[in-house]
Amino acid sequence: MEAKQLIDPNKIKQDFSIFKRKINGKPLVYLDNGATSLTPDIVVNAINNYYHNFNANIHRGVHTMGEDATIAYESAHDKVAKFINADNKEIIFTSGTTASLNILVRSIRLNPGDVIILTEMEHHSNIVPWLEAAKKEGYIIKYVKITENGELDMNHLKSLLLNSHVGVVSVTHMSNVLGSINNVKEIAKLAHEKGALCIVDGAQSVPHIPIDVKDIDCDFFCFSGHKMAGPTGIGVLYGKKELLNDMEPANFGGDMISEVHFDHATWNDLPWKFEAGTPNIAGGIGLGAAVEYLDSIGMDKIRDYEEFLTEYALTKLKGIEGVTIYGSSKKRGGVISFNVKDIHPHDVGTILDRDGIAIRGGHMCAMPLIKTVLKLNSVCRISLYFYNTTEDIDKLVTAIHKAKEVFCNDQS
């Protein structure tokens, strides 16, 4: 087998000014990409360029800057569409995955008593909006169980789909706790066979693996800009054109209208029908720059490199006595949750921070999974990106040993 040519993360680090920063006198080892990724200079510059050179509203003024802003903002939709193989009319910019899911929950028409199938590994953003809607609309929520190694129990999904009133199957593409990558193509197929819609939460997958929404054939796909080298406050709702056309908007106001009269209004074309008010123009332009940047590296190459690095990290972490790793899905991304025996994740996090290492500790916005399924209070999580190196992992391992010394060895 021919060895894959992996990207050089040290070269990539040069694209990010933030790596010049020292944390407690140490170089930054950023392992919290599942929370938010770092932003390359090229994206920061794109945002600055908007504010420095054509800081105007879109779709309104006929002046030069207004036109520049409109072209830049619209072309960001085109870039994102190309990035996930969608039509540009199917790309709605939102403030992030949470907003995208909330729009769907409000705009998809279902009937009281309809079943919503979620999974035990969902982020709060794909649980709480449904819980609220269920209270008001009378939906019934069911959760697909996960297996011992942290994969979705597809047989359980199939048994839940035997119910004839399933309206929606909404599932995460990649768990933000276990790292498991779900077979969303198969899930969409199963949902469609029963006449249900399929929503995919791609917040953790889009930044790390090549996405083709046509191939997955899901009805909706949601993700956030800030986890994929883009700015905060911008995200995407992809939906199939014919479905979006049939749906009512979730927000109403400026720019989403075609005509407004004193007693009624009609809606603008896609995607603007779903983007009420002045959008996050700078954020959208930044997201466009981010997908161009990721494309310039190559999503296939990013995936290959992260698979290599994840395997490296798993092997190293498993070698530390007292470390328990949660989730061992065969198909997984670079999200690894673990605990160090007798040390609270916050204490691990604080000690690691002394060495410039950023990790996450807590319930990962997935309390039902952490508390009810894994029966834990909190976990430590590292989440990798293509600028992380094997040296980063080695530093992590050294720092975990240090934490064990501070807590477990009574040195006088």
Partner 1 sequence: MTNPNELNIKEEIYRENILDHFKNPHNFGELAPCSFYHCEVNQLCGDEVKLFVKLDDKETVAAARFNGHGCAISVASASMLTDYIIGKSIGELKCIQSSEIIELLGVKLSVVRMKCGLLVLKTLRNGIKTMEVRQ
Query: Candidates 14-22, 81-89, 329-337, 359-367 — which segment interacts with partner 1 by CB under 8 A?
Result: 359-367
With respect to partner 1, which residue has the nearer C-beta, 189 or 354? 354
CA distance 73 to 8: 32
d(CA 215, CA 302): 20
Residue number, 164 or 409, with CB nearest to partner 1: 409
Contact pick of 346, 372, 390, 391 for partner 1 (by CB under 8 A): 346
Residue of 195, 238, 245, 203 whose CA lies nearest to 220 = 238
Instruction: Based on the shown chain and the rule CB under 8 A, indicate whether residue 394 belongs to the binding site for partner 1.
Output: no
Under the binding rule (CB under 8 A), the answer on residue 368 touching partner 1 is no
Alpha-carbon torsion (228, 231, 235, 238), positive or negative: negative
Q: Select the residue interacting with partner 1 from 68, 87, 137, 347 (CB under 8 A).
A: 347
How far is Cα 137 from Cα 157, in angstroms, rounded to an integer?
23
312 binds partner 1 (CB under 8 A): no
Q: Which of 267, 354, 358, 394 is close enough to bind partner 1 by CB under 8 A?
A: 354
Is 27 one of the binding residues for partner 1 (CB under 8 A)? no
Binding residue (CB under 8 A) for partner 1 from 370, 374, 384, 400 = 370
Scanning 40-48, 213-221, 258-266, 370-378 for contacts with partner 1 by CB under 8 A, the matching segment is 370-378
3-class DSSP state for residue 256? Answer: coil
Residue type, 216: I
Structure tokens, 131? 């819980």
Residue 29 CA: distances (Å) to CA of 136, 188, 237, 310, 319: 45, 37, 31, 15, 20
Q: Is 408 a catalytic residue?
A: no
Residue 401 binding partner 1, by CB under 8 A: no
Q: Which of 27, 210, 362, 368 binds partner 1 (CB under 8 A)?
A: 362
Stretch of residues binding partner 1 (CB under 8 A), selected from 72-80, 197-205, 318-326, 361-369: 361-369
Sole window of 11-19, 111-119, 317-325, 403-411 interacting with partner 1 (rule: CB under 8 A): 403-411
Closest CB 116 distance from partner 1, rounded Å: 25
Q: Is 361 in the site for partner 1 (CB under 8 A)?
A: yes
Q: Which is nearer to partner 1, 91 or 379 (CB)?
A: 379
| Cα distances (Å, whole numbers) of residue 270 to 50, 248, 249, 266 | 24, 11, 10, 13
Give the helix/strand (H/E) hosting 94.
strand 91-94
Residue of 59, 142, 316, 344 that binds partner 1 (CB under 8 A)? 344
Are the C-beta atoms of 223 and 202 separated by less than 8 Å? yes
SS3 (DSSP) at 341: coil
Number of residues that bind partner 1 (CB under 8 A): 21
Q: Which residue has the tokens 């802003």?
A: 69
Closer residue to partner 1 (CB): 318 or 346: 346
Active-site pick, 218, 222, 365, 380: 365
* Shortest distance in whole angstroms from residue 177 CB to partner 1: 13
CA–CA gap between residue 381 and residue 401 (Å, rounded): 16
Name the residue with tokens 């996960």: 146
Smallest gap from residue 354 Cβ to partner 1 (A): 5
Q: Are 118 and 141 in contact (CB under 8 A)?
A: yes
Q: Of the candidates 65, 141, 265, 406, which one interacts with partner 1 according to CB under 8 A?
A: 406
User: Residues 52, 54, 59, 64: what is their CA dihedral angle, to the nearest 10 degrees?
Assistant: 160
Structure tokens at 192: 């469609």
Contact between 124 and partner 1 per CB under 8 A:
no
Distance between CA atoms of 289 and 285, rounded to whole angstroms? 6
Nearer to partner 1, 210 or 368 (CB): 368
Name beta bridge partners: 340.
Answer: 323, 343
Footprint of partner 1 (CB under 8 A): 344-347, 350-351, 354-355, 361-363, 367, 370-371, 377-378, 402, 405-407, 411
Query: Which positions are catalytic?
Result: 365
